[in-house]
Structures are given as C-alpha cells and as structure tokens.
Structure 1
Amino acid sequence: MVNKVSSLKWFGLAVQALIVLADREELCPSGAVAEQLGTHSNLLRKILPHLVKANLIKAKEGRDGGYLLAKDPAHITLADVYFAMRSEPFSKGFLDTNATDCFTSSTQDALCSLKNEMEGWIVEGLKKKTIANLLADKS
C-alpha cells in the first residue's frame, strides 16, 4: 500500500468517495466512483485502501468486486477520514523557515503551541461532522 499523504486533495476525494458509497446499498467498483467524481480511477485506487484499513469501507476484490461502507454514514466522522488519510499533521509546514535565530525561545515555544492548537482545532471541528451530515436531503 502507498504511504499516507498530507493532501487536502486526497482528503477531499476520500470524503467525496464515502458520500458516493453512502448513496449505494450494493458494491460499487472504484471505476464507477471515480467516474461519478470526475477523477482518475488510478488516483482513487490509491486512496480507497486507506479507508479500508481504517475500517470505514469494505472491499471485495476481483471481477465482481467493489467497495461498500463498513458502517452507517452517521458513524463516520470527518476526523475518522482525516486520520485514515494523513501521515503528518495538517499544520506541519507552519514553522518551516530557513532562519534559526529569528525569534527568542519563548516566541518559538509560543509558535509551537499555536501549531499544536491549530491541529487540535482542525480535529475537533472534523469530529463534529459526519458523512451523513454531508448527504443531500432526499425528501
């Protein structure tokens, strides 16, 4: 399996793929999901194994294979998807600079604390939304 990536594009495609699968009761081939999303099936086949490993979807391999949600969309939070897809915190590049003596140690500590707070804000916000929250109202 490919390594996880810190990519909003991959996270977004993972969320969208889950929405497509939530709309189906039967196995759905990755090509059909990719077609519905207007993306390349090769890219989607790199993303879906992360969702399988996180037990968010089930996979059946082979000619009649495909993907299916592993649980109710109301029980899949966006934080679940975030953790399934990320290898590094979203805020990783926040402190990437070339200068090493630019700030005092207390300012550096404050910046590190802010970086950690930012990651916490993201995760807490994502915990509040589920795939079910994103499904279109069908009434």
Structure 2
Amino acid sequence: MSDKMNNVRWFSMALKALIVLAENEGRCPSGKLAEKLESQSVYLRKILTHLVKAGIISAKEGRDGGYSLSKKTEDIKLSEVYEAISAETVVKDYFETEGKHCFSGTSQQSLCDLQREMETWILEGLQSKSLSDLIEQ
C-alpha cells in the first residue's frame, strides 16, 4: 500500500481512537483501545504518540495506565488532529512534486501551488469541526 494511503489511514484511525477515548470513562489502555478499533497495538501506539506530543491526549504508563483526552471534545479541532498526524506522515503530500519528470518547470510549480492550495482547503474545512461533531449525542 502506498505511503499516501497509509497517511489517510493514520488520520482516520486517530479520529476513531479519539472517539473511543471520548466515550470511555477514565484511562483506556492501548490494548483495550486496539481491540475496540480492531487494530494492532503497535500500529495504534505510533499514532497515539503524535496525539500525545500535540497535547490532544495524555498518556500514563504502568498498571493503571492508558490514554485519555487532554481537552474537552468541543476544544479538539479536527485540523489539530490532522496537523499532529501530518507531522510525521505528511498527509498533505498528494502529488509527488520532486524528481525527474517530463514536466516543465512551470508545470512542476503549478503542481506545487495546487498542493499548497489543497492543504489550505483541508485545514480550513477541518478547523470548523471539532471532535464533538463526530460523537453521537
């Protein structure tokens, strides 16, 4: 599977994990979270690490450890989740804009400009949504 497809899967999995955490009382261990999401713990922990670094969730190690939201659901903007995940996985890399292609410099620049414009659209759209918008009330 391509990296670009994996990036979309990371964002999707991050949102699903946040929904489970929002609906869970107290801390949720990664094993339990992975079970609910039908995912592998190792894969999920890679994603959760980015959410912890961004301050979206908190993590506690040990016997009573696990993950929990660091903020209220209405304060977690989906753009914040997107940016946390794209910190490593470059969700925004829709077009390969580098390399030796048959495109002229102008065409190459146009693709780069379009990529930046698409990133702006995505972030603007996600900024208007919060985690609470995804949770059944």
Question: Which AA in structure 1 matches 2:116?
Answer: N
Shift of 1:81: 0.7
Instruction: Tell me, in whole angstroms, the C-alpha distance in 1 between the residues paired with 2:101 and 2:122.
Output: 27
Shift of 1:76: 0.5
The secondary structure found in structure 2 opposite 1:111 is helix
Tell me the TM-score normalised to structure 2 length. Answer: 0.84
The 5-angstrom pairing of residues 48-59 of structure 1 reads 48-59=48-59
Q: Could you say which structure has the higher helix fraction?
A: 2
Instruction: Tell me, in whole angstroms, the C-alpha distance in 2 between the residues paired with 1:97 and 1:18.
Output: 34
Instruction: Report the RMSD for the aligned CA atoms in angstroms.
Output: 1.9
Q: Which runs of 5+ in 2 are unaligned?
A: 1-5
Shift of 1:101: 4.7
After superposing on structure 2, the runs of 4+ consecutive aligned residues of structure 1 that deviate more than 6 Å are none
- What's 1:3 paired with? none
Shift of 1:75: 0.7
How many residues are paired up?
131
CA contact (8 A) 2:7 2:89 kept: no
Shift of 1:99: 4.9
CA contact (8 A) 1:16 1:37 kept: yes
The secondary structure found in structure 1 opposite 2:28 is coil
The 5-angstrom pairing of residues 18-37 of structure 1 reads 18-37=18-37
Instruction: Tell me, in whole angstroms, the C-alpha distance in 2 between the residues paired with 1:102 and 1:44.
Output: 39
Question: Which AA in structure 2 matches 1:129?
Answer: K
Find out whether 1:65 has 2:65 as its counterpart.
yes
1:118/1:127 CA distance change after superposition, 3 Å: same
1:113/1:59 CA distance change after superposition, 3 Å: same
Instruction: Tell me, in whole angstroms, the C-alpha distance in 2 between the residues paired with 1:101 and 1:33.
Output: 47
1:98/1:13 CA distance change after superposition, 3 Å: same
Deviation per residue, 1:72-95 (Å, 9 max, x gap): 011111111111111364342414
Shift of 1:116: 0.9
Taking only the aligned residue pairs, the percentage that are identical comes to 46
Instruction: Tell me, in whole angstroms, the C-alpha distance in 1 between the residues paired with 2:9 and 2:114.
Output: 24
The secondary structure found in structure 2 opposite 1:94 is coil
CA contact (8 A) 2:94 2:115 kept: no
- What's 2:114 paired with? 114
